[in-house]
Chains A and B, each alone.
Chain A
Amino acid sequence: MATVVQAENLRKEFGNVRALDGVSFTVAAGEWIAIMGPSGSGKTTLINILGGLDTPTAGKAIVDGTDVARLDEAGLTRFRAEKIGFIFQQFHLVPYLTAVENVMLAQYFHSTTDEKEARQSLERVGLGDRIEHLPSQLSGGEQQRVAVARALINHPKLILADEPTGNLDEANEEIVLRLLRELHVEGHTILMVTHAPSIGRLADRRIEFAHGHLVPAAAASLKPELA
Chain B
Amino acid sequence: MFWRLVFQLLRGSRGRLAVAILAIVSGAAVISALLNLDLGVQNKLAQEFRRLGANIVISPASGAPAQISGAEVPSLMPERDVLTAMQQLPSAQVAAAAPYLYIVARAQNIPVVVAGTWLDQAQKLDVTWKLEGNWIVSRADDSHCLVGRNVARRLHLVVGNPLDLHYLDRSAQCSVTAIVDAGGTEDNQVFASLRAVQALANLPGQIGLAQLSVTGTTQVVADYAARLAAALPQYQVRPIRQVAEAEGALLGRIRLLIVSMVLLILILTALCVLGTMAALAMERRKDVGLMKSLGGSISRIVGIFLAEAGVLGAAGGLLGTILGAALSYWMGLRVFGTAIAPRWEVFPATIALMVLVTLTGAIPLRLLGNVKPADILRGE
Which residue of chain B has the shortest Cβ distance to A150 in the bound complex?
Answer: B294
Residues of A within 8 A of B377 (CB): 48, 53, 88, 90, 92
CA distance A78 to B291 in the complex (A): 12
In the complex, the answer to whether A104 meets B1 with C-beta atoms within 8 Å is: yes
Which residue of chain B has the shortest Cβ distance to A89 in the bound complex?
Answer: B377
CA distance A51 to B296 in the complex (A): 14
In the complex, the answer to whether A54 meets B296 with C-beta atoms within 8 Å is: no
Given A53-B377, A54-B374, verify A109-B9 contact (CB < 8 Å).
no
CA distance A77 to B12 in the complex (A): 26
Residues of A within 8 A of B290 (CB): 92-94
CA distance A103 to B47 in the complex (A): 65
Q: Does B5 contact A (CB under 8 A)?
A: yes
CA distance A44 to B377 in the complex (A): 10
Q: Does B378 contact A (CB under 8 A)?
A: yes
CA distance A93 to B8 in the complex (A): 14
A66, chain B: closest CB distance, angstroms: 14
B16, chain A: closest CB distance, angstroms: 11
A152, chain B: closest CB distance, angstroms: 13
Per-residue 0/1 for B2-23: is the Cβ within 8 Å of any A Cβ (1 yes, 0 no)? 1011001101110000000000
Which residue of chain A has the shortest Cβ distance to B296 in the bound complex?
Answer: A109
Residues of A within 8 A of B293 (CB): 51, 53, 80, 86, 92
In the complex, the answer to whether B296 meets A77 with C-beta atoms within 8 Å is: yes
Residues of B within 8 A of A199 (CB): none
Count B-side interface residues using an 8 Å CB cutoff.
27
CA distance A93 to B294 in the complex (A): 11
Q: Does B366 contact A (CB under 8 A)?
A: no
Q: Indicate which residue in B11, B291, B372, B373 contacts A105 across the interface (CB closer than 8 Å).
A: B291
A142, chain B: closest CB distance, angstroms: 18
Q: Does B292 contact A (CB under 8 A)?
A: yes
In the complex, the answer to whether A78 meets B295 with C-beta atoms within 8 Å is: yes
For window 11-46 of B, CB contacts with A under 8 Å fall at 11-13
In the complex, the answer to whether B12 meets A95 with C-beta atoms within 8 Å is: yes
Q: Does A184 contact B (CB under 8 A)?
A: no
Per-residue 0/1 for A80-118: is the Cβ within 8 Å of any B Cβ (1 yes, 0 no)? 111010101010111111000100111111100100000
Q: Does B297 contact A (CB under 8 A)?
A: yes
Q: Indicate which residue in A48, A80, A96 contacts B294 across the interface (CB closer than 8 Å).
A: A80
Which residue of chain A has the shortest Cβ distance to B295 in the bound complex?
Answer: A81
CA distance A109 to B2 in the complex (A): 10
Residues of A within 8 A of B297 (CB): 74, 77, 109
In the complex, the answer to whether B1 meets A113 with C-beta atoms within 8 Å is: yes
Residues of A within 8 A of B298 (CB): 73, 77
Q: Does B287 contact A (CB under 8 A)?
A: yes
Residues of B within 8 A of A90 (CB): 377, 379
CA distance A80 to B379 in the complex (A): 20
Which residue of chain B has the shortest Cβ distance to A81 in the bound complex?
Answer: B295
Q: Indicate which residue in A44, A97, A106, A113 contacts B295 across the interface (CB closer than 8 Å).
A: A106
B51, chain A: closest CB distance, angstroms: 59
Which residue of chain B has the shortest Cβ distance to A88 in the bound complex?
Answer: B377
CA distance A54 to B376 in the complex (A): 12
In the complex, the answer to whether A105 meets B292 with C-beta atoms within 8 Å is: no
Q: Which of A97, A104, A150 has the largest number of chain B CB atoms within 10 A? A: A97
For window 141-189 of A, CB contacts with B under 8 Å fall at 150
For window 321-380 of B, CB contacts with A under 8 Å fall at 372-374, 377-379
CA distance A48 to B293 in the complex (A): 10
Which residue of chain A has the shortest Cβ distance to B9 in the bound complex?
Answer: A96
In the complex, the answer to whether A80 meets B378 with C-beta atoms within 8 Å is: no
Residues of B within 8 A of A92 (CB): 286, 290, 293, 377
For window 256-309 of B, CB contacts with A under 8 Å fall at 286-287, 290-298, 300
CA distance A6 to B374 in the complex (A): 21
In the complex, the answer to whether B11 meets A96 with C-beta atoms within 8 Å is: yes
Residues of B within 8 A of A73 (CB): 298
CA distance A196 to B268 in the complex (A): 56
Residues of B within 8 A of A110 (CB): 295
CA distance A81 to B287 in the complex (A): 16
In the complex, the answer to whether A101 meets B295 with C-beta atoms within 8 Å is: no
Given A53-B374, A101-B8, verify A109-B13 contact (CB < 8 Å).
no
In the complex, the answer to whether A96 meets B1 with C-beta atoms within 8 Å is: no
CA distance A78 to B296 in the complex (A): 8
Q: Which residues of A contact B (CB under 8 A)?
A: 44, 48, 51, 53-54, 73-74, 77-82, 84, 86, 88, 90, 92-97, 101, 104-110, 113, 150
Known: A73-B298, A94-B291. 10 other contacts (CB 8 A): A74-B297, A79-B295, A81-B294, A92-B286, A94-B290, A96-B12, A101-B4, A101-B8, A106-B294, A107-B1
**14 chain-A/chain-B pairs, Cβ below 8 angstroms:** A53-B377, A74-B297, A77-B298, A81-B294, A82-B295, A84-B295, A92-B286, A94-B290, A95-B12, A95-B287, A96-B12, A105-B294, A106-B295, A109-B296
- Nearest first, the 9 closest Cβ-Cβ pairs linking A and B are A81-B295, A96-B12, A53-B374, A109-B296, A109-B295, A80-B295, A113-B1, A108-B1, A54-B374
